[in-house]
């Protein structure tokens, strides 16, 4: 009788434990510890296909191709069918369609709440990385409110005053320094010293980034260039600036000490810079640098993290043409092929035929069909990929504002 009661009690205990486990597994929302969003113009199908071939041929696969979830994002701005950086980034940052040259506010000028602020309210550490200038529209959309992103000084002021950020890496040092110190501020303020007065640690080199301690009670800000960061191959040659993958790795090491988790935004904009000038090989190099950074985030953030990568817009209409062999890669996909035809071509940009000019005897190796001083942005659905809890919402055709909703629900 006693043994039977013990067996019955053990059975009840095991049943209770099993029900509890199923309840937690099925009904209790599991929040990812780390959340990382990559934003870049490298995430369109033509760039991804060309970068894959350029790196190691048609049978090669990029790391991001291992992500289990994928969607195409519709990305019109509120006022134009083709977004600019400000409008596209505002959609990601606030969940509201933005207008050209405006960040962080709606059509009536109402200030919108950023995903960074929501993450801070949840107790998470918050970081922002950009390969462009920290006051450029695609980075500013996550922390600033401005009806005119061409006016950079007030945006720099807002970054200094922003309460949510724990880590900031990027370029654009000139927007934070007075003219007497090599900057372009007209008010004489030195925002670097003001950051330091508020307790921020300032770093400016790859070596300083490597040496900075992971555990800290104050914020860390890296100004790694006066303007945009250098292109990846220039960085590797000069060894003066950290690569994007290094910035991501160190950012995760700094942010993951917070018990409540973290949110990291990575704005990889050098693809746009290269595309605007019809530098096709540079576009592919920067797309591969983005892929390596996503790989680094996956390695260092761990399996309990949510990692998303989403395209902003397309630029210039880059195409890889002709019939390269399956194994052709690298320089074999550049310049003029054996039939005398260019492998990489553009729709618009500075490589196009200039008006009223005689045909060039030596056309550029990456010609554009139509001349524009800077390549136009184009209407094209962009790619979003993801892994981790919440990324399963990426499927089919979605609005780009859905990225904000996925992040918000994961906080």
Tell me the per-residue pLDDT of 62-104, one tens digit each, with 9 for 90 and over.
Answer: 999 999 999 999 999 999 999 999 999 999 999 999 999 999 9
Lateral strand order in the sheet of 344-349: 319-320, 344-349, 368-371
Confidence grade of residue 234 (pLDDT, cut at 50, 70, 90):
confident
DSSP string, 6-57: HHHHHHHHHHHHHHHHHHHHHTS----SEEEEEEETT-SHHHHHHHHHHHH-
Quickly state the pLDDT bin for 140 (edges 50, 70, 90).
very high
Say if residue 114's pLDDT is above 70: yes
What pLDDT band is residue 338 in, cutting at 50, 70 and 90?
A: confident
The angle subtended at Cα 39 by Cα 216 and Cα 386, nearest 5°, is: 90
* Contact of 370 with 45, CB cutoff 8 Å: no
Select the highest-mean-pLDDT range: 23-27, 132-136, 337-341: 132-136
Question: By the 8 A CB rule, do 308 and 38 touch?
Answer: yes
**Going by DSSP bridges, is the β-strand pair 368-371/344-349 parallel, antiparallel, or unpaired?**
parallel
**Residue 103 near residue 144, CB atoms below 8 Å:** yes
Extents of the domains making up the chain: 34-319+372-410
Structure tokens at 114: 């950023």
Element (H, E) at 98: none
Per the CB < 8 A criterion, the answer to whether 139 and 180 are in contact is: no
* pLDDT at residue 21 in the model: 41
d(CA 410, CA 30): 9
Across residues 270-277, what is the average pLDDT? 96
Encode 241-292 in three state secondary structure.
Answer: CCCHHHHHHHHHHHHCCCCCCEEEEEEECHHHHHHHCCCHHHHHHHHHHHHH
Supply φ then ψ for residue 146, to 5 degrees.
-155, 135
Q: How far apart are the first and last CA of the chain?
A: 52
Is this prediction's pTM over 0.75? yes
Percent residues over pLDDT 70 in the chain: 91
- pLDDT digit string, tens, across residues 182-230: 999 999 999 999 999 999 999 999 999 999 999 888 899 999 999 999 9
**Sign (positive/negative) of CA torsion 169, 175, 176, 182?**
positive
CA dist., res. 38 & res. 251, Å (int): 13
Q: CA distances (Å), 152 to each of 133, 157, 159, 344, in order?
A: 10, 9, 11, 35
CATH code assigned to 34-319+372-410: 3.40.720.10
């Amino acid at each position: 009788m006693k043994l039977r009661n013990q067996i019955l009690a053990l059975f009840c205990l095991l049943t209770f434990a099993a029900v509890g486990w199923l309840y937690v597994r099925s009904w209790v929302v599991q929040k990812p510890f780390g959340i990382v969003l990559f934003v870049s113009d490298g995430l369109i199908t033509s760039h991804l296909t060309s970068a894959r071939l350029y790196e190691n041929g048609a049978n090669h696969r990029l790391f991001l191709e291992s992500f289990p979830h994928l969607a195409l994002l519709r990305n019109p701005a509120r006022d134009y069918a083709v977004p600019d950086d400000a409008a596209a980034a505002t959609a990601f940052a606030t969940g509201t369609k933005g207008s050209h040259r405006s960040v962080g506010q709606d059509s009536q000028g109402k200030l919108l709440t950023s995903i960074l602020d929501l993450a801070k309210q949840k107790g998470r550490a918050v970081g922002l990385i950009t390969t462009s200038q920290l006051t450029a529209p695609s980075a500013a959309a996550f922390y600033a409110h401005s009806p005119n992103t061409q006016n950079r000084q007030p945006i720099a002021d807002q970054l200094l005053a922003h309460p949510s950020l724990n880590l900031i890496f990027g370029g654009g040092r000139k927007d934070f320094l007075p003219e007497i110190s090599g900057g372009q501020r007209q008010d004489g303020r030195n925002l670097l010293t003001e950051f330091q007065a508020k307790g921020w640690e300032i770093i400016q080199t790859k070596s300083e980034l490597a040496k900075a301690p992971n555990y800290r009670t104050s914020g860390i800000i890296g100004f790694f260039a006066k303007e945009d960061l250098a292109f990846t191959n220039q960085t590797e040659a000069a060894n003066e600036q950290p690569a994007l993958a290094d910035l991501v790795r160190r950012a995760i090491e700094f942010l993951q000490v917070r018990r409540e988790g973290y949110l990291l935004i990575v704005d990889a904009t050098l693809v746009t810079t290269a595309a605007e000038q019809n530098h096709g090989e540079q576009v592919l190099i920067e797309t591969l640098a983005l892929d390596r950074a996503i790989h680094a985030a996956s390695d260092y953030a761990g399996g309990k993290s949510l990692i998303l990568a989403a395209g902003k817009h397309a630029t210039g209409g880059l195409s890889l043409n002709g019939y390269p062999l399956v194994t052709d890669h690298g320089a074999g996909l550049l310049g003029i092929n054996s039939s005398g035809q260019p492998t990489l071509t553009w729709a618009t940009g500075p490589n196009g035929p200039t008006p009223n000019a005689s045909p060039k005897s030596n056309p550029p190796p990456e010609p554009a069909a139509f001349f524009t001083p800077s390549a136009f942005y184009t209407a094209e659905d962009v790619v979003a990929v993801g892994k981790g809890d919440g990324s399963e919402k990426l499927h089919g055709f979605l609005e780009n504002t859905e990225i904000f909703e996925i992040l918000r629900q994961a906080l």
